[in-house]
């Protein structure tokens, strides 16, 4: 067909940007359509600004520890509003960088909200629900519009924040209720507490961080409680009332919590409303776009990557899916993404990171007697002079029949940096004997992974 472009990408987030630039490098004529800022959830309202807030909270901890190292520091004035402004300025800088990267790659950035109007056509509107102003055609289309926070339908929920809102506040109130138990809930609870706020977590279930190794999740819970975060399990929000800054959260157990703000961190869902998928015949399944191993939907020339597929909803996964799609379709270098071994980190306090099978997953797969669990739990040297704070937990899960390490997990300082490197030997099939043969780097936290008996 005589199309305007070889590829049109809907959504300039991590997966869409990676696919567009890689496809253009392979010689394709590529356009990317975005109605919001360029960079997507991770850069604009997710991983990047959140990690900057993590560093802000950590700086307060370091100042608190200064006397343990013989440093006398006068009272420090903490200005959360200044921190938030600096974070937004950095996000603006990154947004500009990503726009420049697209231009250098030869990708045409089309401002506006795109929707499918046919199997090869995209309509562009000035707002998401507005009328279409012009249309474009493409030989292939990639859907990479990501996801959005999902909140429960309770009275007064409009008074609450979603995670997107946390980076747009001028400052934070003295007391906040965080609803949820996953990545976002635990990270923001730690950030807010680290910035000096009173924090209560409301958890519908009976544990934090479902899907992670239970022992590690429990270690995070203990440390969060030690830091002063109040965690209430087995309850849900019944209603929220009041006005911003002066709210009351009514729980299903009858308790009412007064606070200055409420964060609903209760999950995310693919953002598919208004995309016109039905106009192109793209099938949905449980609110997501199902794809095959090559990122292809049921329509042979329409693909999807990232959170819209609701598989492994992490930025590096979306990036790799986008690049694999572009390499396979435009680069004559077919490859598929391996979703089985993906390292994950939760930037709470303390930090949790994990790769491979949890103890529970390994038990299901190999049986209780089929695995060996090696662990080390200790207070790191960094906490020796302050003589307080959380204890580190390092854990290896081993398949007894092969001696292969099938899970590597950690709670403690620099956990994400350490587990990133541990993911390499796990992907190569390293055994416990391989770990044991590795010389320790002393004194370090990570040496415990190669000295466990």
Q: What is the pLDDT of residues 211-224, one digit of tens each?
A: 999 999 999 999 99
Per-residue pLDDT, 362? 98
Q: Are residues 113 and 70 in the same domain?
A: yes
Asked if residue 190 lies in contact with residue 349, where contact means CB atoms within 8 angstroms, the answer is: yes
Asked if residue 234 lies in contact with residue 243, where contact means CB atoms within 8 angstroms, the answer is: no
Q: Are residues 184 and 300 in the same domain?
A: no
Domain range for 80 is: 5-148+269-330
| Cis peptide bond N-terminal to 239, omega within 30 | no
> In this structure, are strands 132-143 and 5-10 parallel, antiparallel, or unpaired?
parallel
Of 243, 266, 289, the domain-final residue = 266
Q: Which residue has 């990154």 as its token pair?
A: 94
Average pLDDT, the chain: 96
Least confident range of 84-93, 384-393, 428-437: 384-393
Distance of CA 340 to the CA centre of its chain: 17
Distance CA 257, CA 350 (A): 26
Beta carbons within 10 angstroms of residue 394's beta carbon: 26
Mean pLDDT score, 141-155: 97
Per-residue pLDDT band for 74 (boundaries 50, 70, 90) equals confident
Per-residue pLDDT, 92? 97
Residues contacting 123, CB < 8 A, separation 6+: 114, 115, 116, 117, 132, 134, 135, 276
Q: Are residues 92 and 194 in the same domain?
A: no
Per-residue pLDDT, 353? 98
Q: Are residues 183 and 235 in the same domain?
A: yes
Per-residue pLDDT, 2? 79
- Determine phi and psi for 158, rounding to 5 degrees: -65, -15
Q: Are residues 191 and 251 in the same domain?
A: yes
452 has a pLDDT exceeding 80: yes
Q: Are residues 39 and 157 in the same domain?
A: no
Per-residue pLDDT, 77? 81
Q: Are residues 431 and 368 in the same domain?
A: yes
Distance CA 379, CA 389 (A): 8
| Nearest to 149, CA basis, from 133, 165, 134, 137 | 165
Prediction pTM value: 0.96
Q: Is residue 36 part of a domain?
A: yes
Is residue 318 within a helix (H) or strand (E), and if so which, with residue range?
A: helix 315-330
Per-residue pLDDT, 412? 97
Asked if residue 282 lies in contact with residue 299, where contact means CB atoms within 8 angstroms, the answer is: yes
Planar angle of CA 380, 227, 248, nearest 5 degrees: 160
Q: What is the CATH number of the domain that holds 60?
A: 3.50.50.60
Q: Is residue 342 part of a domain?
A: no
Q: What is the CATH number of the domain that holds 432?
A: 3.30.390.30
Asked if residue 330 lies in contact with residue 7, where contact means CB atoms within 8 angstroms, the answer is: yes
Q: Is residue 336 part of a domain?
A: no
Q: What is the count of structural domains for the chain?
A: 3
Q: What is the pLDDT of residues 162-210, one digit of tens each?
A: 999 999 999 999 999 999 999 999 999 999 999 999 999 999 999 999 9
Mean pLDDT score, 254-279: 97
Residues contacting 104, CB < 8 A, separation 6+: none
Q: Is residue 339 part of a domain?
A: no
| Nearest to 358, CA basis, from 373, 338, 345 | 373
Distance CA 23, CA 314 (A): 21
Q: Are residues 86 and 157 in the same domain?
A: no
Distance CA 437, CA 432 (A): 9
Half-sphere exposure of 89 (CA within 13 A, CB side): 6
Q: Are residues 233 and 308 in the same domain?
A: no
| Nearest to 343, CA basis, from 396, 402, 418 | 418
Q: Is residue 335 part of a domain?
A: no
Beta carbons within 10 angstroms of residue 242's beta carbon: 15
Q: How big, in percent rounded to 5, are the helix, strand and coil portions of the chain? A: 35, 25, 40
Catalytic annotation present for 409: no
Q: What is the pLDDT of residues 267-296, one digit of tens each?
A: 999 999 999 999 999 999 999 999 999 999
Q: Is residue 290 part of a domain?
A: yes
Q: Are residues 144 and 205 in the same domain?
A: no
134 has a pLDDT exceeding 90: yes
Distance CA 30, CA 400 (A): 50
> Could you say which DSSP state residue 206 is in?
S
| Nearest to 25, CA basis, from 404, 379, 438, 329 | 329
Q: Are residues 14 and 109 in the same domain?
A: yes
Mean pLDDT score, 230-250: 97
Catalytic residue among 134, 246, 390, 442: 442
Handedness of CA 211, 379, 420, 356 (dihedral sign): negative
Q: Is residue 343 part of a domain?
A: no
122 has a pLDDT exceeding 90: yes
Per-residue pLDDT, 1? 64
Q: Are residues 167 and 113 in the same domain?
A: no
Per-residue pLDDT, 76? 79
Q: Which residue has 């002079």 as its token pair?
A: 385
Q: What is the pLDDT of residues 350-373, one digit of tens each?
A: 999 999 999 999 999 999 999 999
Distance CA 221, CA 230 (A): 10
Distance CA 215, CA 192 (A): 24
Distance CA 351, CA 55 (A): 12
């Amino acid at each position: 067909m005589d199309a305007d472009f070889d590829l049109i990408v809907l959504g300039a987030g991590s997966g869409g940007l990676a696919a567009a630039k890689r496809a253009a490098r392979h010689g394709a004529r590529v356009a990317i359509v975005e109605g919001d800022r360029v960079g997507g959830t991770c850069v604009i309202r997710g991983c990047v600004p959140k990690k900057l807030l993590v560093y802000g909270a950590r700086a307060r901890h370091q100042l608190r520890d200064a006397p343990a190292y013989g440093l006398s520091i006068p009272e420090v004035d903490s200005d959360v509003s200044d921190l938030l402004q600096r974070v937004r300025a950095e996000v603006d800088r990154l947004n500009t960088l990503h726009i420049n990267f697209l231009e250098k790659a030869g990708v045409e950035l089309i401002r506006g909200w795109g929707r499918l109007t046919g199997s090869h056509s995209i309509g562009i509107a000035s707002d998401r629900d507005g009328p279409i102003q012009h249309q474009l055609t493409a030989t292939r289309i990639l859907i990479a519009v990501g996801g959005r926070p999902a909140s429960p339908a309770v009275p007064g929920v409009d008074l609450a924040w979603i995670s997107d809102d946390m980076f747009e506040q001028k400052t934070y109130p003295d007391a906040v209720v965080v609803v949820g138990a996953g990545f976002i809930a635990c990270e923001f609870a730690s950030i807010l507490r680290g910035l000096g706020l009173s924090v209560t977590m409301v958890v519908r279930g009976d544990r934090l961080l479902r899907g992670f190794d239970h022992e590690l999740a429990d270690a995070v819970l203990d440390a969060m409680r030690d830091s002063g975060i109040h965690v209430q399990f087995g309850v849900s929000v019944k209603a929220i009332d009041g006005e911003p800054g002066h709210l009351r959260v009514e729980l299903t157990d009858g308790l009412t919590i007064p606070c200055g703000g409420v964060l609903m961190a209760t999950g995310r869902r693919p953002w598919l409303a208004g995309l016109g998928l039905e106009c192109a015949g793209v099938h949905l399944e449980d609110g997501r776009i199902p794809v095959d191993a090559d990122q292809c939907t049921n329509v042979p020339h329409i693909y999807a990557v990232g959170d819209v597929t609701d598989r492994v909803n992490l930025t590096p996964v979306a990036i790799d899916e986008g690049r694999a799609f572009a390499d396979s379709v435009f680069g004559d270098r077919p490859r598929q993404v391996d979703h089985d071994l993906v390292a994950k980190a939760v930037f709470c306090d303390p930090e949790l990171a994990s790769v491979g099978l949890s103890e529970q997953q390994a038990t299901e797969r190999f049986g209780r007697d089929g695995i060996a669990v090696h662990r080390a739990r200790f207070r790191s040297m960094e906490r020796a002079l302050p003589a307080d704070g959380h204890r580190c937990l390092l854990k290896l899960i081993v398949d007894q029949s092969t001696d292969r390490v099938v899970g590597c997990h950690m709670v403690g300082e620099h956990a994400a940096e350490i587990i990133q490197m541990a993911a390499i030997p796990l992907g190569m099939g390293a055994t416990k004997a391989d770990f044991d043969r590795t010389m320790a780097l002393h004194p370090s936290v990570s040496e415990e992974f190669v000295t466990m008996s």
